[in-house]
Amino acid sequence: MSEHLASALAAHLAASGNLTAPWHEHYTVVPRHHFIPDVAWVVPDETGAEPYAIDRNQDTPRWFQAVYSDASIVIQLDAGTGDLRTGKGTPTSSCSAPGIVFPMLRALDLLDGHKVLEIGTGSGWTAALLSARLGSHRVTSIEVDEDVAARAAEAMARAGYTPQLITADGADGYTPNAPYDRVHATCAVERVPYAWVRDTRPGGVIVLPWRPTYGHGLLARLVVNNNGQAIGRFERTASFMMLRTQQRAIGWTPHDAEDATAELTTLDPRTIINAPEGAALAIAALAPGVTQTVITEPGGDVSLLLSQADTPEGAWAAVDYSAGLDAYTVTWWGDHNLWAQVSDAYLQWVSWGQPARTRFGITVTPEDQVLWLDHPRHRVPPYA
């Protein structure tokens, strides 16, 4: 059963361009099912598809079908206290969807003899794939959670791979085995830990999911220069759970509503909601720390809710769209108007000629992390 399903998934991934040589060969010799626990929570990649639980002991065929689908499979909730049978809890470890795993591995541009540091062992599948490509002795993988690390070690041993596994905070890197030719992060970060740059040799590559407070996560590919900097661009969207030390509370709490200001805007909030990736990057740079939540009502009304990450008592704004109106209500509270900040950033992006995501890049130095447009010298200034 598993061989047939694995072949079907490989064909699907190859047809979409997500599984190419030499990773097709390594996919074949590192079966995914070795790394998935009996009970897990499946998050399909298809738009609108609902997550669901799988239990190998209760329904083996369905378990294998899920394992060999292009889905992310959550293997831990709430650091082990959540219930995988119901999906109640916040995902804290997963086996990422194959449709993003292999493009990320391809972005590493591995060569024979390369030494790799992986941040976030998780299920152990990608560490095993890296070991199949390079040899276990050239792979170091860090996992912050002891239980997850132990299960990954057992799974990799069963599959015949023995990379060096470190239980520690991946944000600190792992200097004893440095320098690395490649760093591969399987968790998202808002600020790239400089330790990853420090531990990478000049010319080395760091591939990571970058997740600003505003907008969607993006896959960043950075190259380290001889001045201790990492410079690169964003290759595609990539949705990953955050590095644990960078997890943040995001919520919208309209406190002090009686003191809020109400005004009108002629800018349709849906323009901001549906703005392209380039606009979201401009907003992330020009309105740092602002997060968005979107609520769509059955009748077509839409609310854009803005708040400040990790600041439940901070500024907030709500912009409400209803069909047939020429102006839309903005309600805001705080020491500054978050709607004005976000909408000004969007219109600034328009004035730049609406640059696409591919024109933006990021530079990481020992002191700072900056977003730039077209060239590393063209820093996108902070909002003023």
Catalytic residues: 96
Q: Amino acid identity, residue 108?
A: L
- Cβ neighbours of residue 258 closer than 8 Å, sequence gap 6 or more: none
Query: What amino acid is encoded at 11 in this protein?
Result: A
Quick check: bond before 22 cis, omega within 30? Answer: yes
Which DSSP string corresponds to 93-142? EEE--HHHHHHHHHHT---TT--EEEE--TTSHHHHHHHHHH-GGGEEEE
Mark residue 303 as left, alpha or beta (left: phi above 0; alpha: psi -120 to 50; beta: remaining): beta
Give the DSSP letter of residue 67. H
- Dist. CA 82–CA 339, nearest whole Å: 36
Q: Report in angstroms the alpha-carbon separations of 85 from 42, 44, 109.
A: 10, 16, 38
Residue type for position 144: V
Q: What's the CA gap between 31 and 128, in Å, rounded? A: 10
Nearest to 40 by CA among 95, 78, 3: 95
Half-sphere exposure of 361 (CA within 13 A, CB side): 17
Helix (H, G, I), strand (E, B) or coil at 335: coil
Instruction: Give burial (CB, 10 Å; 0-12/13-18/19+) of 237.
Output: middle
Helix (H) or strand (E) holding 65: helix 60-67
CA dist., res. 323 & res. 298, Å (int): 13
Strands of the sheet containing 71-77, edge to edge, are 52-55, 39-44, 71-77, 91-95
